[in-house]
Amino acid sequence: MARVTWREVGNAFGLHLVAARETEKVAFAEDADGRAYVLKAYSLRFSIDHLHQLLSRVHANGFRRTITLLPARDGKPYWEADGRRWVVMPCLPGRPANYGKKSEVARVAETLATFHRAAVHVWSCRHGRDVPYLSRLTDRYWEYLRVYRQASAHPGKSPVARWIAETGAVILREAETALAVLPVPILMAYNQRDVGLFGAVAHHDVARHNFLVDGHDVYLLDLDAFGIDWQAGDLVQLLSRALWDARWRPDVGLVAAAAYERVRPLDPGERRLIPYLLRFPADEMREALGAWRGTKGYSPPRSLAFLRYAWRLRPRREAALAHLFRIWAGEILPPPPSVVQSG
């Protein structure tokens, strides 16, 4: 079958598109009146119906600063052609958020919390891809361990392989320590609450480019990775990324968390979990694994630049975590990996 063109996609949604710019993931198109749209193709395995149900729920609950799926001519939120399902969304205004700027990451945190308040009681969106927060951490640990062994056996395969081989043992020890001291029963209790009682949805990918800032408005994009899960896990991910961008200045994390809680207050037990989960080296593992696998959106040179940057910041990260442990958990930072291992 011939490749589907952006004009054909537009016609299937009743749009007369006159221009388009295609990227690796989507196409940006315009109609004759200058209205802008995003065209995106999904595999048949992805449930666009579940995504549509989620968007309908959050829109009905008052959260509209996010994407909208336009209906195709047949009324479905997608058009199926060439073994894929196409969706069309009005293009949202703005630029990617700057997580290193306190005022901006605070507005992102407020937007995330507003989404969380709206994304509840959506048990109908449960699907086979839902993975509990703790399982996401352990799965990442085991995958990184496998990759570390492969990279150590063939460090000359690539610069990424050499980096993982040289630093992987330290990263794995840090992950093991984070999991060893994590209050697992507390985390599981909150996960069960959000999943079973609230039917709550987590976004699962709060990268900078998934928040567009347009003046005072912040828009949330790309809900493809959503799942029924512990919502505050998104806040942990946001804090981690913001702290890296701010060179682990703890005030940035405190401002972001406070902004989130102005909209969706956390239980004291949830707040206590945050510094424990920030200790897990999720971002370093994600970046290394993405570059190793050749995942779309990951560039080995860019990933290596982040990994080297993160390695240099490890002392600052340890100091910031000690500060955040005292504030959020009221505790002393658990001992470093070498002390835990020797015990």
Backbone torsions φ then ψ of 173, nearest 5 degrees: -65, -40
Residue 196 CA to its chain's centroid (Å): 22
Confidence of residue 41 (pLDDT cuts 50, 70, 90): very high
Q: Provide the b/e sequence for 203-240 (b: ≥16 CB within 10 Å).
A: bbebbbebbbbeeeebbbbbbeebbbbbbbbbbbbbbb
pLDDT band at 343 (very low <50, low <70, confident <90, very high): very low
Q: What is the pLDDT of residues 173-191, one digit of tens each?
A: 999 999 999 999 999 999 9
pLDDT of residue 332: 78
Cα distance from N-terminal residue to C-terminal residue, the chain: 63
Q: Is the pLDDT of residue 262 over 60?
A: yes
CATH 3.90.1200.10 in the chain, residues?
102-342
Task: Give, as one character, the DSSP assignment of residue 332.
Answer: P
Residue from 245, 300, 278 nearest 174 by CA: 278
pLDDT at 126 over 90: no
Residue 287 pLDDT level (bands cut at 50, 70, 90)? very high
Positive/negative CA dihedral, 263, 266, 272, 278: negative
Q: For a pLDDT cut of 90, what percent of the chain falls above it?
A: 88
Does residue 248 surpass a pLDDT of 80? yes
pLDDT in tens, 184-221: 999 999 999 999 889 999 999 999 999 999 999 999 99
* Residue 339 scores a pLDDT above 60: no
Q: Which residue, among 72, 53, 225, has the nearest Cα to 136 in the 3D structure?
A: 225
Percent of the chain with pLDDT over 70: 95
Q: Give the C-alpha separation, 107 to 17, whole Å.
A: 34
DSSP state of 125: G
CATH superfamily of 6-91: Phosphorylase Kinase; domain 1 (3.30.200.20)
Spell out the alpha helix ranges (H) of 61-195. Answer: 102-118, 133-153, 159-181, 184-192
Position 124 confidence tier, pLDDT thresholds 50, 70, 90: confident
Helix, strand or coil, per DSSP, at residue 8: helix
In contact, 108 and 127? CB cutoff 8 Å:
no
Tell me the mean pLDDT in the region 152-164.
96
How confident is the model over 46-65, as a mean pLDDT? 95
pLDDT digits (tens, 9 = 90+) for 267-282: 999 999 999 999 999 9
Which pLDDT score, from 0 to 100, does residue 341 have? Answer: 46
Q: 342: part of which helix (H) or strand (E)?
A: helix 337-342
Burial class of residue 21, CB neighbours in 10 A (0-12, 13-18, 19+):
exposed
Which residue intervals of the chain bear CATH 3.30.200.20?
6-91
Reading the block at residue 151, the tokens are: 């990279």
Calculate the average pLDDT of the chain. 93
Mean pLDDT of 311-324: 95
Q: What is the mean pLDDT of residues 149-158?
A: 96
Please identify which residue in the block is written with the tokens 């016609």: 11
pLDDT score, position 131: 74
Q: Which tokens go with 179?
A: 């999991």
Burial 22-53 (b: 16+ CB within 10 A, else e): eeeebbebbeeeeeebbbbbbeeebebebbbe
Topology (CATH level 3) of domain 102-342 = Aminoglycoside 3'-phosphotransferase; Chain: A, domain 2 (3.90.1200)
26-31 and 36-43 as β-strands: parallel, antiparallel, unpaired?
A: antiparallel
pTM: 0.93
